[in-house]
Structure 1
Amino acid sequence: MHNNKRNIISQFTSMVLGIILVNIVFSSCERIYEDLDPCPHGVSLRFIYDYNMEYANAFPKKVDCLTLLIYDDKGNYVDTRIVTGTELQDENYRMKLDLKKGNYHFVAYGGLACEKSSFLMNHTPKGGTQYTDLRVELDEECLTNPLRKNLHGLYWGELILATADLYSEGTVEMMKNTNNVRIVLQQMSGEPVDDKDFEFEITDDNTLFNYDNNLLANGMVTYTPWSQGQVSAGVTDDEQEVIAAYAELSISRLMVSDWHSPQLKIRRKSDGKDIVDIPLINYLLMLKSDLYASMESQEFLDRESEWSMIFFLSPNLEWIKTYIKINDWTVRINNIGQ
């Protein structure tokens, strides 16, 4: 009986001591004990890029530099953090920020602070500027300098999050703003096609991003290939090698809107005739088959960033407008706006 009483007293004493220790720890966060350091207060941010057709996080492989802009709950600029190290390649990377208590608006750009970045801010955020002042624009040199026509990937994301003791955890979900379009020309007869016989271009007004990542009118620009050449498409039954021409163009974000209408043109150099002159978005959206029936058109354009289009030519190098292959999908063309 005495042993049982001692055990009960011992357990009660341990419980009381435990409560006292917990109170001491929490009171240190509340700064009741001024001789103890306050608990860290702020946020811990994770960054992911799974807004793609694979729905898989590709942030560690795709984003090589990170710019984080911090605004308060009234949209006032607070601070900027830039990361360019290899820590971004770590799946477990978190950015810890010590901040005053409050709600904050975080805006992240991937690829903006890199040495080879293709985009730049119209102004440097500083005290007195607002979230709505943000503008990011394509560097004009990327349209003319052959070494810069292959745009460095640009990624964007934002998050609103309140701070907390021992850090409030949040995830910034990012999307990609750049696209690569690979165009292949192949003769139905199997005759070789020379890329030097053609000019390739995509025209669009998509070089200026607003604070919310939507596009602002900024004037029409022309994208031309960053790479082009010839490639073997295989060997026919009579052992004739089929040589096709290709060109790759790197472009900014594609958006569905009334005023935003990118056009793809392929011009035959011999007589200056456009053998292909099509609304690019209309044709790319033909790939959105029943597999993606529930997906909005804009989401599809934002998730997909690498496009391949194969045009089949007649012997006189005219486009045979019956079907086209886009990203390995053969699409029969009936009636599509041109």
Structure 2
Amino acid sequence: MANKKFNSWIKNICMGWGFIMAGSLLSSCNDLMHDDLPPCDMGVDLQFKYDYNVQRADMFKDHVGGLSVFVYDEQGNFIARHDAYNDATSQPLKDPNYAMRINLEPGKYRFATFAFQKKYEDALAQPGAKFQIALPQQGDNITALHARLDREQGKVNNQSQPLDTLWQGLSNELVEVKDLQVTRHTIGLVRDTKQLTISLHQTDEPANINADDFSYQITNANGDISYDNSLLPDEELTYTPYYTWTSEFKDTEGNVKERTAHAALMFSRLIWHPKEKDKNAILTITNKTTGEEVVRINLADYLAQGRGAFEARHYSEQEFLDREYDYKLDFFLQGNQWKYVQLRISILDWFTRIQPVDL
């Protein structure tokens, strides 16, 4: 009899503690009057990857230095912005296990991301053209979110600086946050800024060429990138080199035997248009002295031929253009006419020779 009473007493104590613990948990989560109580583990842990490249390696921690994440509810209405970035005192994005904790009430959400090499506001403070995010206001629809490249009357004024690298990312589906637990979700990033190095060689007179003898430009209406990485309608932009130089090759006596003219350009995302010729990105190179157009090509079409370096992957033209970001074109001139071009993919030491074709 004594044992039964003792067991009953122990049971009542345990039940009492259970109610106290449950009450504490509910209070810590929902009682806004008690700021000294510990917060709930509830919301989402966002992780990020950048493996959409030809290397097929996650280079997020090595390349990305700043993130701006925009949170939208199930109806696509803006709720909040969250940022993370590396600086001189802390470099959280270099941690391979980095996750952005966002506290959210139970519900379904979408997360749109723009990323840079540094904190967004620091990127804006640098010289040269920048991608400006149209920062949303409370309740704005996700379709209003976009990043627009600076321009002056259609010209991208880089001020001799490369563009700060831009990545875009979007949760592929609605992410559900449940009560009293943390949801984990990974967002993949796509790099939208591209690098092109042009080299010009003279076949008849190898030493008779100089980078300053030519003007180089890319034209395309591609400077406004939406939240889902599509291109919004835009004016035609003109990109020019941020750097040009001439290299020399000398013999043992110091005589110049050959020169090569070089130009480095950066530009926004290219879309491959096999039929809509008026939408093509066009690369032109002009002889400043004669005013003659030396090169004119459909840039996306030529660069997309680099997918031949990865035949086993079966990349489409557009997938290759989105994965690759560093291109090299070597034009071989005879007089003022180019006879062929070599497209090089540096990571494989691969190249292909392309003959001139009509646009």
What TM bracket, shorter-length normalisation? 0.7 to 0.9
Provide the residue aligned with 1:312 in structure 2: 332
Given that residues 31 and 38 in structure 1 are in contact (C-alpha distance below 8 angstroms), is that contact kept between their aligned partners in structure 2?
A: no
TM-score by length of 1: 0.83
Matched to 2:162, the amino acid is: N
State how many pairs are aligned: 315
Query: Does the Cα contact within 8 Å between 2:170 and 2:227 map onto a contact in 1?
Result: no
- State the distance in 1 between where 2:83 and 2:222 align: 26
Q: Deviations over 1:146-165 (max 9, x none)?
A: 43651110101011311143
Aligned to 1:139: 150
Deviation per CA, 1:170-223: give whole Å up to 9, x if none: 111000010011000012243242001111000100011223210022111110
Report the counterpart of residue 287 of structure 1 in structure 2: 306
Task: Tell me if 1:251 matches 2:246.
Answer: no
Identity %, equivalent residues: 29
Does the 8 Å CA contact 1:48/1:57 hold for their aligned counterparts?
yes
Give 1:105 deviation, angstroms. 0.1
Question: Counterparts of 1:248 and 1:263 in 2: how far apart (Å)?
Answer: 16
1:178 aligns with 2:198: no
Q: What corresponds to 1:162 in structure 2?
A: 176
Give yes or no for contact 2:194–2:326 (8 Å, CA) kept in 1: yes
Q: Map Cα deviations across residues 23-48 of structure 1 (whole Å, 9 max, x no partner).
A: 88995797399998563110101111
Q: Distance in 2 between matches of 1:44 and 1:234?
A: 58
Which residue identity lines up with residue 205 of structure 1 in the other structure? A
Does residue 226 of the first structure (1) align with residue 245 of the second (2)?
A: no
Q: Tell me if structure 1 keeps the 8 A contact 2:46–2:101.
A: yes
Aligned in 2, Cα 1:103/1:320: closer, same or farther, shift over 3 Å? same
* Counterpart Cα distance in 1 of 2:220 and 2:22: 59
Task: Say if 2:123 is the partner of 1:116.
Answer: yes
Gaps of 5+ in 1: 1-15
Instruction: Report the counterpart of residue 187 of structure 1 in structure 2.
Output: 202
Name the counterpart of 1:207.
223
Calculate the TM-score normalised by the size of structure 2: 0.79
Q: For the structure 1 residues 74 and 220, does the alpha-carbon distance in structure 2 shift closer, same or farther, using more than 3 Å as the test?
A: same
**Distance in 1 between residues matched to 2:320 and 2:281, nearest whole Å:** 16
Provide the alpha-carbon RMSD of the alignment.
Answer: 3.0
SS at match of 1:31: helix
How far apart, in 2, do the equivalents of 1:61 and 1:25 lie?
48
Give distance in 2, aligned partners of 1:227 and 1:158: 33
Unaligned runs of 5+ in 2: 1-10, 125-129
